[in-house]
Amino acid sequence: MTLSRAAINQLLEQHGLSPSRALGQNFVADPNTVRRIAHLADVGPGDEVIEIGAGLGSLTMALAETGATVTAVEVDRYVLPVLRSQVEPLGVRVVEGDALALDWDQVLSGCDDWVLVSNLPYNVATPLVLDLLDDVPAIRRMLVMVQLEAGQRLAAGVGNPQYGIPSVKVAYWARARLVGKVPASVFVPRPRVESVLVSIERRDRPAVDVDADRMFMLVRTGFGQRRKMLRRSLAGVIDAATFERAAIRPESRPEELTVEDWGRLAGA
């Protein structure tokens, strides 16, 4: 079973709760949607699934239905008792905490192959995904629901207007693609933005073999003045000889460089 719109409204009223705007809470109130997400995540018996921002447990229940072992993370202390009552009888482990500050080694101990499946709060989605790619290698795959623009930035490639620093960071660690849209009508409350599902699969090794800190210093500097040619935005950092060694045109703009191009530039 999972939660319908009527069930969510009843739980909120029964416990004197309302969705927190500060926490970016928008509860999914459509069983077909959460089951679709669980299906797209391709999880089942033997899989370890981590969900961030579990809320009242609608998606959590759909994930538990697949037979996967589910750990649900929730920061809202008022929602937590309701979440526990809904999902712990299904064998779900509930962890209280802020996903941006959790001890992930402790939470994920005992397994080095996790799948993140989450309806992420819009206000933390991008930094959270990037932090997990940087620091939590045990999460091998992700299927995340995020705001449309955030999803486009995470999955964008060269030539896409949304291509930027998050796109390069994701491409360094993983392969990302948009796999579906989620209408605003399935949420309580209804958000004013569109949502998309992004599939992210971690690479066995980074896309380029260079010093990551050096490369992303260049990426941040270049995109900091994205309208300018690289010879101007990277002036004082990269000279003409380095552009030549890396086979990068100094007249290029940052959105024209793939992660491999940035890697060559950093390595040169």
Predicted local confidence at residue 22, as pLDDT: 83
Predicted local confidence at residue 18, as pLDDT: 87
In order of their start, the domains of the chain are 5-202 (3.40.50.150), 212-267 (1.10.8.100)
Predicted TM-score of the model (pTM):
0.94
Per-residue pLDDT of the chain (268 residues; tens, 9 = 90+): 788 899 999 999 999 988 888 888 899 999 999 999 999 999 999 999 999 999 999 999 999 999 999 999 999 999 999 999 999 999 999 999 999 999 999 999 999 999 999 999 888 999 999 999 999 999 999 999 999 999 999 999 998 999 999 999 999 999 999 999 999 999 999 988 899 999 999 999 999 999 999 999 999 999 999 889 999 999 989 999 999 999 999 999 999 999 999 999 999 9
Predicted local confidence at residue 19, as pLDDT: 86
Predicted local confidence at residue 159, as pLDDT: 87
In this structure, what are the phi and psi dihedrals at residue 86, rounded to the nearest 5 degrees? Answer: -85, -40
Strand partners, 201: 141, 175
Instruction: Count how many residues are written for the chain.
Output: 268
Predicted local confidence at residue 24, as pLDDT: 84
| Short-list 203, 219, 230, CA closest to 263 | 219
The residue type of 109 is S
Predicted local confidence at residue 262, as pLDDT: 98
| Short-list 166, 121, 123, 115, CA closest to 143 | 115
Q: Say if CB 239 and CB 216 are below 8 A apart.
A: no
Predicted local confidence at residue 69, as pLDDT: 98
For the stretch 145-155, what's the b/e string if a residue is b when 16 or more beta carbons lie within 10 angstroms of its beta carbon?
Answer: bbbeebbbbbb
